Amino acid sequence: MSINIKRPNGTEDVTPKNVHKWHTIEKIARETAESFGFGEIRIPTFENTDLFLRSVGETTDVVQKEMYTVKAKESEFTLRPEGTAGTIRAMLQNGLLNEALPQRVYYILSCFRHERPQAGRLREFHQFGLEMAGSSSPAADAEVISLAKTMLDRLGLKNIELYINSIGCPACRAKYHEALRNYFNLRKEELCETCQERLIKNPMRILDCKSPVCQEIGKNAPLILDYLCEECSEHFEKLKKYLTDLDIEFKVNPKIVRGLDYYTKTVFEFVTTEIGAQGTVCGGGRYDGLIEQLGGQHTPALGFAMGIERLLIVMEKQDCDYLVPKKCDIYFATMGENALEKAMKLSKALREYGYFAEYDMMGRGLKAQMKYANKINAAFTVVLGDNEIESGIAKLKEMEKGTETDIRLDEKFAPAFEEIYFDKILDIMEEQGGDTLFSFTGEDN
C-alpha cells in the first residue's frame, strides 16, 4: 500500500529508533544549563506577528521572506521563527525581570522558517537556547559563551570553531551605516531588490543577504570593528581577555553580523566545516535594547541558540556516544492461558520496580516467541508453561551468557529479579572499566 500523504517539505520525523539521540542532546543541554543556574521556560508555538516585527526586525530575511503567518478569524499570528522574542515577551509578561537579576532561562523548542530546505536547513527545526537578562558586564558574555562551549564539549563534538565579533551600540552603528551606504551606493543597481530597500532602511542587513551577487559585492564592505565607540571597544577587549583566561579558543571574525536585528555589541557563532554549507551549530549575542523595545525597562541581555538537527548531523559524522536506548529487561514466553495471566501479573510488579517487561500478545508459538525475544535483545527470558505454574518455579535465563537461575513465581519475583539484575550490571560496569555515564538501561545513574 502506498502512502499518498507525506510530511511537508523541510520537516522531519523522529522515530523510536532514533529518539535516544535527541534524548542525549536534551539531557546534556538541561544538565549543562542548570549547572550554570538557568531554569527551563516553555512558551507558545505562535505569537502575535507584531512581536517578531518589533524584535527580529522588519528588514531581516526571517521577517521579510521566511515567516509562517496564519490568519485566524480576526487575528494574525506567526509560528515562532526563533525563541528569543517569545522568551523575552514571556519574561516581561510574567514579571521575571522584577525578580533577582540576572534572570536566566533556557528552552528546547521547535522553530519555523520558510527557507529552501537542504541538509541542515529545515522549515521546522529545533533549538536549544537560553537567555540571560540583567547584566551588562562582559563577564556575562564570557559566561554564556562558556556554557555553549561546555555543552558542545559534553556532547563530544570536535573541530568546532568559535568566532566572535562586536557589532556595536546604536551610537557606533549610525556611523557604520553611513560608511556602508557610501560603499553600497556605488553598486546599488546590482543589489537584489530587497537589498536596495535595505540600503535605505538598514544597510547592515545587506551583509547577510543569501543572494550570491549581494554576498560578492559585500566582500570588501567596511568592517564594523573599525567604527566601534570606546565603550563597545572596551567591552569587546574585556570579553577577549575573559575567554583567554577561561582557555576558550576563539577567532575574531569582523564579518559576523547575524541575521536578526536585535543584536548589540557581542555576537558569536560556533561553526564546523564538516557538514557543508550549514555549519553554524550555535549563534548568539547581546541585545541590550530589545527588552526596552518590547515595553520593559532598559535591561541588558544576551543569549544563544543551537540547532539540534545540525548538532545531530555533526554527532553522527564524528561518531559521538549517545544514551543507550532502553532495552527489554525481561521477556515472558508463555504457553497457555494460565501462563499468560501469570506473565501479566509478574510484568505489572516488575514495571513498578522500573523494569521494562514484555510478554507475547501475538498468539505466537514458543519458538517464535523466543525468536522475538532475541530480536528485541531482551536481557532475560522466562518460559512459563503449565509445569512452571504448577510448581511455582521457573528458569530465569540470562540471554547473553545463556546461564539459568531458578526463580519463584510469587510476590518475591520482582525483588529476586532485581538482585540478579544488579549482579549483571556490576559485571558490565567492570567490563567497561567503571564507566557509568551511559547506563545499561539508559536511565539516569
Q: Where does this chain bind ligand HAM (CB under 6 A)?
A: 82-84, 113, 115, 120-122, 125, 127, 129, 131, 259-260, 280-285, 303-307, 309-310
Asked if 373 and 359 touch (Cβ cutoff 8 Å), the reply is: no
Residues present in the chain in total: 445
Closer Cβ to ligand HAM, 256 or 389, answer by number: 256
Of 8, 75, 66, 74, the C-alpha closest to 47 is 75
Beta carbon of residue 89, minimum distance to ligand HAM (angstroms, whole number): 13
Q: Which residue is nearest to ligand HAM (CB)?
A: 307
Nearer of residues 8 and 363 to ligand HAM, judged by Cβ? 8
CB of 125 to ligand HAM, least distance (A): 3
Residue type, 277: A
What is the three-class DSSP state of 226?
Answer: helix
- Non-local (6+) Cβ contacts of 396 within 8 A are 330, 380, 381, 382, 404, 405, 406, 407, 417, 420
Instruction: Provide the grid cell at 225.
Output: 570593528
In 25-64, at which residue ranges do the beta strands (DSSP E only) sit?
A: 39-40, 46-48
Phi, psi for residue 76 in degrees, rounded to 5: -130, 130
Chain centroid to CA 209: 26
Nearest CB to ligand HAM, comparing residues 242 and 268: 268
Closer residue to ligand HAM, CB minimum distance, 288 or 329? 288
Taking the complex as a whole, the smallest distance from the CB of residue 136 to ligand HAM amounts, in Å, to 15
Q: Least CB distance from residue 409 to ligand HAM, whole Å?
A: 52
Residue 366 and residue 346 in contact, taking contact as beta carbons nearer than 8 Å: no
CB of 27 to ligand HAM, least distance (A): 19
Cβ closest to ligand HAM, residue 203 vs residue 279: 279
Residue 105 CB, nearest distance to ligand HAM (Å)?
A: 11
Q: Where does residue 156 fall: left (phi above 0), alpha (psi -120 to 50 degrees), or beta otherwise?
A: left
What's the min distance (Å) between Cβ of 369 and ligand HAM? 43
Nearer to ligand HAM, 88 or 328 (CB): 88
Instruction: Confirm if 438 and 428 have CB atoms less than 8 A apart.
Output: no
Please name the helix (run of DSSP H) or strand (run of DSSP E) that holds residue 75, with its range, or none. strand 75-79
Of 147 and 199, CB closest to ligand HAM:
147
Query: How are beta strands 161-166 and 330-334 bridged, if at all?
Result: unpaired
